[in-house]
């Protein structure tokens, strides 16, 4: 095992050993420092080692670190469920805790199915999703994921769920602010429901603002509302996957609130726990949960659901976001970041698009801006640029998104505590990395 590690994360690439993390920075054991320009994988919304969260966790540790949900309710899980229900759109008042995003998505798919059975619609089982999209790596969540590198090897082990194209207006040369664009993509959902047979369609799952797989894809005008109408017309449940877009970095607890759309269920994780503890949740309409309890059952649950330490951390994270004004800061800093990224387009002809909302911003590389053709695969922009930034002391998040369905996009999503000076630092480091790549 010389020079090897016992850790198995599916790659032979080694990374420096983390020594400490504070605010927007991470240090390794050799004293090198990185600006966490992607909050890990869009996780650490409030930054690292926030003293208020650490204190809340210490206090909870003195009380209990585990209570099995079928034996005890706990104060932190009750309070966090209340808090999430208050933050969620009206009518979404039931919270099912998980340890992460994939588990939250699994829970949503299965609750939707349990609901269909409870109302005597057992023929509904298909969950339509988009391509590209990422909803998690467990087999159920993967079945609604549209990202071939992760789904293809496991295809024989999954139910094939129907996919419709994500509204990549820029790539298709359509104006984002034209309601005709929103209608064009939303109507693909209706067409697919009709093709599948409406009586067989259970749900539609969508990220209000796309995360990893689409690179901060913002929906075109009218899209979100029309999707809601179409789902209503055919009795299809609407699931907003807010694992990345929720938690405040888009200026609201839930990104869907920007369009005033009320889904039937919301899945959350990442920013809500901010990486302090594994935490996720499914937030469902009361009416759905009640119907399932009245007429059916929901034979589903994770051992660590509602872990009191994780919930205590989650409550403190929500306090910090509210009390420190981090949502307004995310919008203000997000605008600056977006403007600075757009300015880089003057300097580098191979940046084809800059998009995003709040502190979820992305840029996409192309070989030709007019045709939006992707960079040649041989350039391996994914590795090259991420590594160049890493060498410069900046962490950005990228998706190896070749395969004809997307270009190479890079997400810049620093913690919501980020300052103007740190935005400057991100841009300086990124510029040096892009110069090396150019």
Instruction: Find the part of the chain contacting ligand PLP (CB under 6 A) among 55-63, 134-142, 151-159, 351-359.
Output: 134-142
The alpha-helical segments, DSSP class H, found in 64-197 are: 75-87, 101-118, 139-143, 148-151, 179-196
Rounded Cα gap, residues 19 and 248, in angstroms: 28
Taking CB under 6 A as the criterion, which residues in 357-416 touch ligand PLP?
none
Whether the bond between 132 and the residue before it is cis, its omega within 30 degrees of 0, is yes
Specify the residue, 243 or 396, whose C-beta has the smaller distance to ligand PLP. Answer: 243
Specify the residue, 67 or 247, whose C-beta has the smaller distance to ligand PLP. Answer: 247
Nearest-approach distance from CB 134 to ligand PLP, in angstroms: 5
Specify the residue, 149 or 175, whose C-beta has the smaller distance to ligand PLP. Answer: 149
Strands across the sheet containing 265-268: 92-98, 280-285, 265-268, 237-241, 201-206, 126-131, 163-165
Residue 301: strand pairing partners: none
Spacing of C-alpha 211 from chain mean position = 5
* 268 within 8 A of 247, measured Cβ to Cβ: yes
What count of Cα atoms within 13 Å lies in the side-chain half-sphere of residue 287?
7
Q: Residues binding ligand PLP: what is the number (CB under 6 A)?
A: 15
β-pairing verdict for 201-206 and 237-241: parallel
Q: Which of 47, 100, 314, 415 is the binder for ligand PLP (CB under 6 A)?
A: 100
For residue 372, report the phi and psi dihedrals to the nearest 5 degrees: 60, 25
Query: Per CB under 6 A, does 314 bind ligand PLP?
Result: no
Q: Is 230 helix (H, G, I), strand (E, B) or coil?
A: helix
* Residue of this chain nearest to ligand PLP (CB atom): 101
Q: Which of 164, 238, 243, 351 is the binder for ligand PLP (CB under 6 A)?
A: 243
Rounded Cα gap, residues 365 and 368, in angstroms: 9
Query: Per CB under 6 A, does 211 bind ligand PLP?
Result: yes
Specify the residue, 145 or 422, whose C-beta has the smaller distance to ligand PLP. Answer: 145
Nearest-approach distance from CB 98 to ligand PLP, in angstroms: 9
Q: Is 434 helix (H, G, I), strand (E, B) or coil?
A: helix
Q: Which of 126, 135, 192, 226 is the binder for ligand PLP (CB under 6 A)?
A: 135
* 311 within 8 A of 97, measured Cβ to Cβ: yes
Nearest-approach distance from CB 241 to ligand PLP, in angstroms: 4
Taking CB under 6 A as the criterion, which residues in 103-132 touch ligand PLP?
105
Of 175, 170, 144, 179, the C-alpha closest to 158 is: 144
Q: Which of 25, 97, 134, 204 is the binder for ligand PLP (CB under 6 A)?
A: 134
Nearest-approach distance from CB 211 to ligand PLP, in angstroms: 4
Specify the residue, 134 or 185, whose C-beta has the smaller distance to ligand PLP. Answer: 134
Nearest-approach distance from CB 213 to ligand PLP, in angstroms: 8
Rounded Cα gap, residues 436 and 419, in angstroms: 26
* 423 within 8 A of 336, measured Cβ to Cβ: yes
Specify the residue, 241 or 353, whose C-beta has the smaller distance to ligand PLP. Answer: 241
Specify the residue, 198 or 278, whose C-beta has the smaller distance to ligand PLP. Answer: 278
Q: Which of 81, 127, 212, 426 is the binder for ligand PLP (CB under 6 A)?
A: 212
Specify the residue, 241 or 392, whose C-beta has the smaller distance to ligand PLP. Answer: 241
Nearest-approach distance from CB 210 to ligand PLP, in angstroms: 8
Nearest-approach distance from CB 43 to ligand PLP, in angstroms: 8
β-pairing verdict for 25-28 and 33-35: antiparallel
Helix then strand then coil, in percent of the chain rounded to 5, is: 40, 20, 40
Taking CB under 6 A as the criterion, which residues in 257-286 touch ligand PLP?
269
Q: Which of 39, 77, 102, 307 is the binder for ligand PLP (CB under 6 A)?
A: 102
CA angle 179, 243, 247 (to 5 degrees): 90
Query: Per CB under 6 A, does 353 bind ligand PLP?
Result: no
Residues found near ligand PLP in the complex (CB under 6 A): 41, 100-102, 105, 134-136, 207, 211-212, 241, 243-244, 269
């Amino acid at each position: 095992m010389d020079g090897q590690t016992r850790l198995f994360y599916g790659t032979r690439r080694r990374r420096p050993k983390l020594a400490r993390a504070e605010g927007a920075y991470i240090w390794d054991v050799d004293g090198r420092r990185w600006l966490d320009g992607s909050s890990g994988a869009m996780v650490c919304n409030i930054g690292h080692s926030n003293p208020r969260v650490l204190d809340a966790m210490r206090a909870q540790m003195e009380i209990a670190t585990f209570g099995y949900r079928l034996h005890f309710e706990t104060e932190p899980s009750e309070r966090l469920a209340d808090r999430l229900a208050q933050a969620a759109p009206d009518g979404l008042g039931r919270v099912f805790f998980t340890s992460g995003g994939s588990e939250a998505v699994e829970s949503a798919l299965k609750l939707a199915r349990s609901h269909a059975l409870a109302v005597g619609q057992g023929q509904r089982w298909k969950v339509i999703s988009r391509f590209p999209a990422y909803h998690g790596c467990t087999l159920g969540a993967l079945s609604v994921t549209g990202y071939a590198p992760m789904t293809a090897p496991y295809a024989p082990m999954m139910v094939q769920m129907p996919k419709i194209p994500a509204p990549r207006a820029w790539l298709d040369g359509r104006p984002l602010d034209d309601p005709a664009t929103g209608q064009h993509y939303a109507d693909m959902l209706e067409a697919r429901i009709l093709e599948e047979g409406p009586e067989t369609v259970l749900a539609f799952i969508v990220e209000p603002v796309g995360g990893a797989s689409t690179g901060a894809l913002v929906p075109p005008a009218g899209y979100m509302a029309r999707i809601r109408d179409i789902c209503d017309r055919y009795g299809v449940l609407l699931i907003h996957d807010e694992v990345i877009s929720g938690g405040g970095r888009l200026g609201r607890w839930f990104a869907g609130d920007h369009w005033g759309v009320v889904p039937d269920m919301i899945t959350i994780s990442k920013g809500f726990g901010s990486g302090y503890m594994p935490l996720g949740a499914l937030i469902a309409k009361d009416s759905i949960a009640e119907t399932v309890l009245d007429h059916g059952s929901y034979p589903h649950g994770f051992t660590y659901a509602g872990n009191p330490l994780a919930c205590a951390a989650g409550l403190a994270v929500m306090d910090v976001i509210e009390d420190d004004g981090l949502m307004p800061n995310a919008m203000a800093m997000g605008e600056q970041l977006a403007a600075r990224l757009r300015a880089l387009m003057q300097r580098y002809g191979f940046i084809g698009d800059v998009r995003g909302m709040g502190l979820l911003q992305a840029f996409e590389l192309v070989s030709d801006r007019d045709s939006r053709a992707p960079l040649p695969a041989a350039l391996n922009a994914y590795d090259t640029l991420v590594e160049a930034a890493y060498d410069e002391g900046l962490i950005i998040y990228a998706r190896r998104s070749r395969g004809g369905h997307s270009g190479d996009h890079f997400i810049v999503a620093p913690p919501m505590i980020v300052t103007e000076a740190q935005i400057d630092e991100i841009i300086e480091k990124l510029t040096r990395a892009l110069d090396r790549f150019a």
